[in-house]
């Protein structure tokens, strides 16, 4: 019976930019809101952390923010709304609708099978494998446009996606390609029944 790889994925972090329609007075923000770090002599942005859900925003005078730490698009939207409500509660008015742009989704994945990385590096286009430098194969997938770090255990890191669906699509596609190319050795010990 031929082994069929069934990949799974989990989003670990979404990095997004949020663009407000106006600038923000960071000194005023720092004086009014607790849990904010602002050291303009070291970094031009203000660091604003939320506990639930756990996320961090770098806020700049231009009105741009970089938000990290969320694990889904819905959570990202909720974090942005929550931050804006906190700003409003402390007298910082935000006019207009913030534009949210996902820059990078980082996910972990698992093919649940052992992979012959040397064969994969030879057979897969746009791949690089130098085990003395790094234990994983680096594969630049063209569609969806992501980078995968694939390890012999079948575990992987997927980075560069702009939408959640691209993560799952990339995992399924690489599992199928590795299977078709004969690079799947078989199930890991813990995967065997």
Q: What is the mean pLDDT of residues 153-169?
A: 97
Output the average pLDDT for the chain.
92
Q: Report pLDDT for 187.
A: 82
Burial of 127 (0-12, 13-18, 19+ CB in 10 A): middle
Give the CA distances from residue 43 to residues 50, 69, 163, 192, in Å, rounded to whole numbers and listed in that order: 19, 20, 30, 51
The per-residue b/e assignment along 93-103, b for 16 or more CB within 10 angstroms, e otherwise, is: ebeeebebebe
pTM exceeds 0.85 = yes
Q: What is the mean pLDDT of residues 63-73?
A: 95
Gap between the Cα atoms of 161 and 63, Å rounded = 25
Q: Report pLDDT for 101.
A: 96
pLDDT in tens, 71-86: 999 999 999 999 999 8
């Amino acid at each position: 019976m031929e082994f069929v790889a069934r990949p799974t994925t989990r989003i670990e972090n979404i990095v997004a930019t949020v663009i407000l329609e106006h600038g923000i007075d960071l000194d005023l923000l720092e004086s009014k809101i607790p849990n904010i770090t602002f050291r303009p002599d070291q970094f031009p942005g203000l660091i604003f952390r939320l506990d639930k859900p756990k996320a961090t925003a770098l806020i700049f005078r231009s009105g741009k923010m970089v938000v990290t730490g969320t694990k889904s698009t819905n959570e990202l939207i909720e974090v942005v709304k929550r931050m804006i409500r906190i700003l409003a509660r402390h007298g910082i008015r935000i006019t207009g609708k913030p534009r949210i742009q996902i820059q990078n989704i980082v996910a972990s994945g698992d093919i649940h099978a052992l992979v012959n990385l040397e064969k994969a590096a030879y057979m897969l286009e746009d791949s690089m494998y130098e085990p003395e430098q790094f234990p994983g194969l680096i594969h630049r997938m063209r569609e969806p446009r992501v980078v995968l770090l694939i390890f012999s255990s079948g575990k992987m890191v997927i980075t560069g996606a702009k939408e959640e669906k691209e993560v799952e699509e990339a995992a399924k596609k690489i599992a199928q390609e590795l299977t078709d190319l004969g690079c799947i050795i078989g199930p890991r010990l813990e995967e065997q029944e």
